[in-house]
């Protein structure tokens, strides 16, 4: 099913598309990524990050190609066109579950982090509710409001990048030596971690049908946006590695925040708290993007045209499961393990399959043109 007349009114510009993509990528993982990469690859974690970043660019190119072969169609319509109505609906339900699981992970991680660093006495259910209210409001206005909110908060990435410079004060780049000591399997695991952190490119198939500009301009915009995210990740990982070293970073769960905790500034007393406050905006926008994906998927399953009912349904499910997962570490681990098991299918295997089968669509169009 292609865009309706009402859908065409919700066009977004290329810059808005870039902001949505960037903020969908940068969520909770950025605070823990340096530690996770170092545990998997050691001091060569930044190398795996670079390789994984390059691979993610190829996935972005694949997504744009798929969108080009199915103009005006979103992710769920494309799957029905390729797989057929039945299999396409099953795959659509799978993405509905995947988007919900990621949203649950983001909300639970956000609540735990804010509870630990900022509001230890506040009931975690209140933190969940506040995040949900912001996200639901953002997506309730449709794509136009989403684009405006993401654009408004885009400057925060620049502010956070500047504040991260304080981490270089006590940095020792000798901690990153020697280079090339990790095994091949360690590099592969590091690349997998990186791809999972950059896997929001799947959401692009929800936004590309509404983006202005030619496919060449869309490609340049999205590749540029992805490069910004990759360099921001690389910047964060390098400054964390150089600040803590191999002996300490494995034992620090949020190295970025601990790194800034000791930084001194005349203007800002606690830079770590200030950065965390800014970061909550990115946590909300990334969460809103996946909640929007779940709402779009739910709208296709029962063919419901009541948008807010779809939004509230997804929000209630996410809130309930997040509360359950936040009760103890064991429950949260269940969510993380389940997410790890399904992420490869919905961010790697299905996009590759859609990309390969999209060439058949192009061949069919050429045959129709000849006839």
How many C-beta atoms lie closer than 10 Å to residue 329's C-beta?
Answer: 10
- Asked if 259 and 167 count as a contact pair (C-beta separation under 8 A), the reply is yes
Q: Of 205, 203, 196, give the one whose Cα is nearest residue 291.
A: 203
Q: What's the pLDDT at 361? A: 64
Question: Please, are residues 176 and 240 in contact by the beta-carbon 8 Å criterion?
Answer: no
Sign (positive or negative) of CA dihedral 26, 28, 29, 32: positive
Contacts 24+ apart (CB under 8 A), 87-91: 89/300, 89/301, 91/350
**pLDDT tens digit sequence for 207-218:** 999 999 888 999
Q: Which residue range is the domain that position 70 belongs to?
A: 9-338
Number of Cβ within 10 Å of residue 57's Cβ equals: 16
Rounded CA gap, 130 and 332, in Å?
20
Write down the pLDDT at residue 6.
46
Residue 344 lies in a domain: no
Cβ within 8 Å of residue 164, ≥6 positions away: 235, 236, 239, 256, 260, 275
Query: Does some domain include residue 77?
Result: yes
Q: What is the pLDDT of residues 96-116, one digit of tens each?
A: 999 999 999 999 989 888 988
CATH number at residue 31: 1.20.1740.10
SS (H, E, C) the chain: CCCCHHHHCCCECHHHHHHHHHHHHCCCHHHHHHHHHHHHHHHHHHHHHHHHHHHHHHHHHHHHHHHHHCCCCCHHHHHHHHHCHHHHHHHHHHHHHHHHHHHHHHHHHHHHHHHHHCCCCCCHHHHHHHHHHHHHHHHHCHHHHHHHHHHHCCHHHHHHHHHHHHHHCCCCHHHHCCCCCCCHHHHHHHHHHHHHHCHHHHHHHHHHHHECCCHHHHHHHHHHHHHHHHHHHHHHHHHHHHHHCHHHHCCCCCHHHHHHHCCCCCCCCCHHHHHHHHHHHHHHHHHHHHHHHHHHHHHHCCCCCCHHHHHHHHHHHHHHHHHHHCCCHHHHHHHHHHHHHHHHHHHHHHHHHHHHHHHHHHHHHHHHHHC
Residues of the chain with pLDDT under 70: 1-9, 28, 301-307, 361-371
Question: Into how many domains does the chain fold?
Answer: 1
The answer as to whether 138 is a domain residue is yes
pLDDT at 220 (0 to 100)? 95
pLDDT of amino acid 302? 55
Q: Report which of 316, 295, 344, 358 is spatially closest to residue 191, judged by C-alpha positions.
A: 344
pLDDT, position 5:
45
| Residue 304 backbone zone (phi > 0: left; psi -120 to 50: alpha; other: beta) | beta
2 inside domain: no
Domain membership of residue 371 (yes or no) is no
Say if 224 falls within a structural domain: yes
Decide if 209 contacts 191 (C-beta within 8 A).
no
Q: 193: closest CA among 31, 354, 23, 34?
A: 34
This prediction has a pTM of 0.90
Residue with tokens 């990115």: 282
Q: Classify residue 355: in a domain, yes or no.
A: no
Tokens 């005349």 map to which residue?
266
């Amino acid at each position: 099913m292609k865009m309706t007349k009402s859908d065409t009114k919700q066009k977004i510009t290329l810059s808005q598309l870039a902001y949505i993509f960037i903020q969908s990528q940068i969520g909770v993982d950025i605070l823990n990524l340096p530690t996770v990469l170092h545990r998997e690859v050691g001091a060569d974690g930044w190398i795996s990050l670079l390789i994984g970043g390059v691979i993610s660019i190829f996935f972005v190119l694949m997504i744009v190609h798929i969108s080009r072969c199915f103009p005006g169609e979103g992710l769920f319509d494309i799957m029905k066109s390729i797989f057929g109505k039945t299999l396409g609906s099953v795959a659509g339900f799978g993405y509905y579950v995947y988007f919900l699981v990621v949203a649950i992970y983001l909300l639970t991680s956000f609540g735990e982090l804010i509870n630990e660093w900022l509001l230890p006495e506040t009931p975690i259910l209140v933190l969940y509710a506040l995040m949900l209210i912001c996200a639901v409001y953002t997506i309730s206005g449709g794509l136009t409001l989403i684009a405006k909110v993401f654009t408004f908060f885009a400057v925060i990435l620049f502010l956070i990048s500047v504040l991260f410079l304080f981490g270089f004060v006590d940095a020792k780049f000798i901690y990153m030596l020697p280079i090339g000591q990790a095994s091949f399997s360690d590099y592969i695991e590091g690349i997998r971690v990186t791809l999972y952190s950059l896997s929001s490119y799947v959401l692009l198939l929800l936004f590309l049908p509404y983006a202005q500009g030619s496919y060449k301009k869309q490609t340049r915009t999205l590749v540029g946006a992805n490069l910004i995210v990759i360099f921001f990740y690389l910047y964060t990982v390098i400054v964390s590695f150089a600040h803590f070293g191999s002996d300490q970073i494995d034992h620090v769960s949020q190295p970025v925040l601990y790194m800034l905790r000791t930084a001194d500034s005349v203007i800002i007393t606690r830079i770590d708290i200030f950065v965390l406050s800014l970061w909550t905006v990115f946590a909300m926008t990334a969460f809103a993007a996946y909640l929007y994906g779940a709402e779009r998927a739910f709208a296709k399953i029962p063919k419901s045209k009541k948008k807010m009912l779809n939004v509230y349904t997804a929000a209630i499910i996410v809130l309930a499961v997040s509360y359950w997962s936040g009760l103890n570490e064991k429950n949260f681990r269940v969510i993380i393990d389940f997410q790890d098991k399904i992420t490869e299918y919905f961010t790697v295997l299905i996009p590759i399959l859609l990309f390969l089968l999209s060439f058949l669509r192009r061949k069919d169009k050429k045959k129709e043109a000849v006839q």
